[in-house]
Amino acid sequence: MAAAPVVISQDEVRSLLRYRDLIPRLEDALAKFSRRDSADVIQPVRSTSDPIQYFGLMPTYMENDGVLCTKVLCFYKRQAGSALPSVQSTVLILDPEYGNVQAVIDGEVITGMRTAAASAISAKLLMPARAEVLAILGSGHQARSHYSVFTEIFTFKEVRVWSQTRASAERFSDWAGGAVRVCGSAEEAVRGADVIVTVTRATEPVLLGQWIKPGAHVAAVGACRPDWRELDDALMKEAVVYADSKEGAKAESGDIILSGAEVFAELGDILNGTSPAHREKTTVFKSLGMGLEDAVSAKLVFDRWRAKNSQT
Ligand SMILES: NC(=O)C1=CN([C@@H]2O[C@H](COP(=O)(O)OP(=O)(O)OC[C@H]3O[C@@H](n4cnc5c(N)ncnc54)[C@H](O)[C@@H]3O)[C@@H](O)[C@H]2O)C=CC1
Ligand SMILES: O=C(O)C1=NCCCC1
């Protein structure tokens, strides 16, 4: 009988995962994914079912790296008064040889950090030179992880936030130590911004092309259903659109499907040097989230956990 899986808690993940380790490994994995070599990465578009709002399975196999993994996730409309986050997730690491589960890892910090890290990679590749102003639309979990990584690896003169209620934007600004300007409208937040991150649960556009400074970079993280939007048609048609996965974007992104916009390239294509990074143009990175991002993060966590626990 296989050994019982280890359980790695959210606090342990938080202490074991660092952006400086995660980002280069994610870049490597995104590049491998875009080469479509099945010995490097097999990662089907996640399967989702709607009956309980959103239930997703995100399997990934990376043969050359010896990783077999899946994330299980539920995305709920946050209930008033509930302390639970709207995205609930767990990452399972399996032994690639036998299929037994080796580790059950809390997915909340992994989901926050790997999503923000992917957006940061998009900004590294696509934001204008000398970007000074960052605007964040939304003030929940992803807003926090995005603020953390964007201020860790870039230097902005100004960070702005807009959210559905002024109170939630102010809570976010307090959490960030007051270094964030709270804006009364999405338009106020994004006018003149060089980099814009949309991390809302909106199902209708909250970001309009007419507000955007030409050449700005947008990391669009919400709107993960085929009939949900965060960005309007004007922006989708004006921008050069990049995605994490073309297949994922075409199957799941309302911003792409409903606007009819073409996905120009994947981030991995830029990293492989097979597609250009149009830094000089207005760009959108449409992020849907990929199983390989969870797999890379979970492997880092599990390797560190084993190293730490074999010493004691
Ligand atoms: N692309 C990816 O890899 C991932 C995407 N997501 C998506 O990112 C988004 C944010 O996720 P979390 O921060 O975890 O959620 P959250 O529930 O913690 O925060 C959501 C934020 O959106 C705001 N909001 C809700 N409805 C809105 C509306 N109609 N208009 C404007 N703002 C609205 C809320 O006030 C809150 O500030 C969600 O859409 C989620 O599905 C989450 C994880 C990974
Ligand atoms: O990749 C993920 O994780 C998610 N993607 C879209 C919605 C919730 C979580």
This model of the complex carries an ipTM of 0.99
**Where does ligand 2 bind, in terms of residues with CB under 6 Å?**
73, 75, 87, 111, 224, 289
pTM equals 0.97
Contact 159, 179 (CB under 8 A): yes
What CA–CA distance (Å, rounded) separates 49 from 104? 22
pLDDT at 85: 87
pLDDT at 99: 97
Instruction: Please report where in the chains the tokens 């070599």 appear, as a residue.
Output: 37
pLDDT at 69: 98
Class of the CATH-defined domain 6-110+292-311: alpha beta
Beta bridge partners of 49: 55
The count of C-alpha atoms lying within 13 angstroms of the C-alpha of 194, restricted to the half-sphere facing its C-beta, is: 20
- Count Cβ atoms below 10 Å from residue 98 Cβ, excluding itself: 9
Residue type at 148 in one-letter notation: S
Fold topology of 125-290: Rossmann fold (3.40.50)
Beta bridge partners of 93: 69, 103
Query: Does residue 223 sit in helix, strand or coil?
Result: coil
pLDDT at 76: 76
Give 3's DSSP letter: P
Ligand 1 midpoint to CA 6 (Å): 30
- The answer for residues whose C-beta is within 8 angstroms of residue 223's C-beta and 6 or more apart is 198, 202, 203, 229, 230, 231, 253, 254, 255
pLDDT at 219: 99
Instruction: Please report where in the chains the tokens 């599990």 appear, as a residue.
Output: 302
Beta bridge partners of 291: none
pLDDT at 277: 98
Give the residue extent of every domain in the chain. 6-110+292-311, 125-290
pLDDT at 91: 98
Ligand 2 midpoint to CA 289 (Å): 5
Q: Tell me the pLDDT tens digit for each residue of 288-307.
A: 999 999 999 999 999 999 99
Residue type at 264 in one-letter notation: F
What torsion, rounded to 10 degrees, do the Cα atoms 25, 26, 28, 34 define?
A: 160
**Can you say how many angstroms the Cα of residue 116 is from the centroid of all Cα atoms in its chain?**
5
**Where does ligand 1 bind, in terms of residues with CB under 6 Å?**
75, 78, 85-87, 111, 115, 138-143, 163-164, 168, 199-202, 206, 221-222, 224, 287-289
Q: Determine the residue of 136, 172, 199 to mutate for testing ligand 1's pocket, defined as the one with the most ligand atoms within 8 A of the Cβ atom.
A: 199
Q: Tell me the pLDDT tens digit for each residue of 168-201.
A: 999 999 999 989 999 999 999 999 999 999 999 9
Closest by Cα among 145, 163, 156 to 206:
163
pLDDT at 311: 65
